[in-house]
């Protein structure tokens, strides 16, 4: 136990699955300066157009990315869990091109932009692990394009429920008995590109057909295989098992 806090533990553990870090790298992560902040549900963490002065790490709670059309329709783009930096883009690109909001009450660590930039400059391995993170984010975006573009509401909902189940499970936030889905039906609609009224009907039908069991916002999946099939869900795109060899090792593999 060499570090002073557990704020970055989840992030370090995640990065370890991407790239074997040196002790120096781990220490550099743990030594990042930060400021803790608690953010209420729906409060903005990043706003479109911002030139952020810090990167935000989710320590506890969930957050989501969204974009609003000129007509005022909101589209949710992704959901993020503890250990995720939600605006690395902000440290590397010029301006935020979308918004990030807290989904549940969040505890976040604000890390100054310069500290992130310096960390990336000084450690190729951490930069590499972060890069892989953005590649996986990209992969999830691609699957969401398919979900809103080519699946009907019923299949898309099943797919979304499968994705949440697997991701929350993988990070220890869900048992196979089910999980707490902390989204309103309006938010679910914004994630799927449909109206909240239709979300309601789709959930009702899934419940009626025995694909899910709802208790408030807690979702149980009695038959995973059935849900998986209706949603056309294949978890490859989540790259949950992602382990990359060191470049030098990979070159010899």
Residues within the interface to DNA (CB under 7 A):
152-154, 184-186, 193-198, 200-201, 203-204, 217
Which residue, 67 or 204, is less far from DNA as judged by CB?
204
Residue 81 site contact among a copy of itself, DNA, none (CB < 5 to 8 Å, cut-off depends on kind): none
The burial class, CB within 10 Å (0-12 / 13-18 / 19+), for 162 is buried
Q: How far apart are CA 18 and CA 250, in angstroms?
A: 13
Interacting span for a copy of itself (CB under 8 A) from 8-16, 70-78, 171-179, 215-223: 70-78
Q: What value does the CA radius of gyration of the chain take, rounded to a whole number of Å?
A: 19
Cα separations in angstroms, 30 against 4, 88, 107, 237, 248? 7, 17, 17, 29, 26
Among the listed residues 13, 121, 201, 204, the single contact to a copy of itself using CB under 8 A: 121
Q: Is 52 in the site for a copy of itself (CB under 8 A)?
A: no
Q: How far apart are CA 205 and CA 210, in angstroms?
A: 8
Q: Is 118 in the site for a copy of itself (CB under 8 A)?
A: yes
What letter does residue 237 receive in the DSSP assignment?
G
Residue 4 site contact among DNA, a copy of itself, none (CB < 5 to 8 Å, cut-off depends on kind): none
Q: Which stretches of the chain are DSSP H helices?
A: 9-16, 23-30, 88-92, 113-122, 124-150, 153-170, 185-192, 196-208, 224-231, 247-252
Closest separation between CB of residue 33 and a copy of itself, Å?
13
Mark residues 8-47: x for contact with a copy of itself by CB under 8 A, - for none.
----------------------------------------
Q: Cβ atoms within 10 A of the Cβ of 129, count?
A: 24
SS3 131: helix
CA atoms lying within 13 Å on the CB side of residue 81: 18
Q: Is 197 in the site for a copy of itself (CB under 8 A)?
A: no
Q: By the criterion CB under 8 A, which residues form the site for a copy of itself?
A: 49, 65, 67, 69-71, 73-75, 77, 88-89, 92-95, 97-98, 113-114, 117-118, 120-121, 124, 127-128, 130-132, 134-139, 141-146, 148-151, 192-193, 232, 236-237, 239, 241-244, 247-248, 250-251
């Amino acid at each position: 136990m060499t570090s002073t806090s557990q704020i970055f533990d989840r992030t370090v553990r995640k990065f370890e699955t991407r790239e074997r870090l040196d002790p120096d790298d781990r220490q550099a992560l743990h030594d990042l300066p930060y400021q803790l902040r608690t953010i209420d549900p729906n409060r903005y963490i990043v706003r479109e157009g911002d030139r952020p002065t810090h990167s935000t790490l989710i320590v506890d709670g969930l957050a989501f990315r969204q974009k609003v059309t000129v007509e005022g329709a909101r589209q949710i783009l992704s959901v993020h869990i503890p250990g995720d930096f939600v605006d690395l883009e902000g440290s590397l690109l010029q301006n935020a091109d979308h918004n990030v909001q807290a989904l549940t009450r969040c505890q976040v660590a604000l890390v100054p932009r310069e500290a992130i930039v310096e960390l990336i400059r000084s450690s190729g391995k951490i930069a590499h692990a972060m890069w892989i993170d953005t590649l996986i984010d990209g992969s999830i975006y691609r699957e969401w394009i398919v979900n809103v573009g080519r699946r009907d509401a019923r299949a898309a909902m099943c797919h979304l429920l499968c994705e949440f189940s697997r991701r929350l499970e993988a990070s220890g936030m869900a048992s196979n008995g089910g999980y707490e889905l902390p989204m309103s039906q309006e938010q679910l609609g914004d994630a799927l590109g449909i109206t909240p009224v239709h979300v309601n009907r789709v959930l009702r039908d899934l419940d009626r057909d025995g694909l899910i069991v709802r208790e408030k916002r807690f979702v149980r999946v009695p038959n995973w295989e059935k849900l998986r099939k209706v949603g056309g869900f294949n978890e490859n795109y989540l790259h949950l098992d992602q382990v990359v060899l060191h470049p030098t090792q990979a070159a010899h593999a």
